[in-house]
């Protein structure tokens, strides 16, 4: 690997006044500087939009995120219709329709005991949930936003624990679905859970999760985490039905919408 000589030296490494550079060189340098700054700015903005849960947010955006449960309309957090281009098996498109929204609540009886214990260190400010079905009404998926009482270090500690101990892959830590009477999800209970995903954000006091199952109420003896079910070589019934894609795809898109709402709220003048 070879490096070019510094701008202030000639070809023989003798000092050369910087003022001798031609106008074209100066212009090129200015263009490079502008482009570089643009790329850096775009990367910072993009970390929110593409779902990088490891990116550190500013204190103001962290605080803004924690208040969205009561300041943003439910249709912005859980849109009536969610488009999932390329979210299905083999890159197929998906469309999810919201069929039920749970009343915003605390976390009492909202999680199985072990998951409740795992989430306890970050507390519970509010829990928002909605259930969706796919275009064929064959599958149902509950997606949740748990607003915690933790600060940024607390969320980072929980995210690190989930990652190191792989808690998001344990079937005894699956989230519970929200079943609403009179909807295709009426029979969507704990035994019907087929695939799930849990994402602990570090730049917001929020845990995003989703859990999916069949709309016909069939029970599932061997649920599979979405990360495994969406693998190209996955051959389980859950994977073949695309239930991992349902959970992962819907959670990803709700999380992206949430990040956009946080960015909008943090940019508003105080």
pLDDT 10s digits, 210-240: 999 999 999 999 999 999 999 999 999 999 9
Closest CA relative to residue 99, chosen from 187, 27, 198, 180: 180
**Percent of all residues in the chain with a pLDDT value above 70, rounded to a whole number:** 78
Give the count of beta carbons closer than 10 Å to the beta carbon of residue 234: 15
Question: What's the pLDDT at 269?
Answer: 59
Predicted model pTM:
0.78
CA 33 to chain centre: 33
Give the count of beta carbons closer than 10 Å to the beta carbon of residue 161: 14
């Amino acid at each position: 690997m070879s490096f070019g000589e510094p701008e202030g030296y000639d070809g023989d490494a003798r000092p050369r006044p910087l003022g001798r550079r031609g106008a074209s060189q100066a212009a090129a340098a200015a263009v490079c500087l502008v482009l570089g700054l643009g790329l850096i700015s775009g990367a910072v903005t993009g970390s929110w939009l593409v779902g990088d849960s490891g990116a550190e947010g500013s204190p103001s955006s962290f605080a803004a995120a924690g208040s969205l449960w009561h300041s943003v309309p439910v249709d912005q957090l859980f849109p009536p219709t969610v488009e999932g281009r390329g979210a299905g098996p083999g890159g197929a498109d998906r469309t999810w329709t919201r069929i039920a929204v749970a009343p915003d609540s605390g976390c009492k009886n909202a999680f199985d005991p072990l998951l409740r214990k795992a989430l306890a260190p970050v507390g519970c400010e509010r829990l928002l949930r909605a259930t969706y079905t796919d275009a064929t009404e064959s599958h149902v998926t509950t997606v949740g936003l748990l607003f915690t009482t933790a600060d940024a270090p607390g969320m980072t500690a929980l995210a690190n624990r989930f990652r190191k101990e792989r808690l998001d892959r344990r079937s005894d830590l699956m989230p519970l679905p929200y079943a609403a009477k009179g909807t295709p999800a009426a029979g969507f209970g704990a035994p019907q859970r087929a695939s799930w995903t849990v994402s602990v954000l570090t730049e917001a006091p929020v845990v995003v999760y989703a859990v999916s199952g069949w709309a016909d109420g069939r029970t599932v003896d061997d649920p599979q985490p979405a990360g495994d079910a969406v693998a190209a070589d996955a051959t389980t019934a859950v994977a073949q039905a695309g239930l991992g894609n349902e959970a992962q795809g819907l959670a990803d898109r709700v999380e992206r919408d949430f990040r956009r709402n946080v960015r909008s709220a943090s940019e508003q003048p105080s």
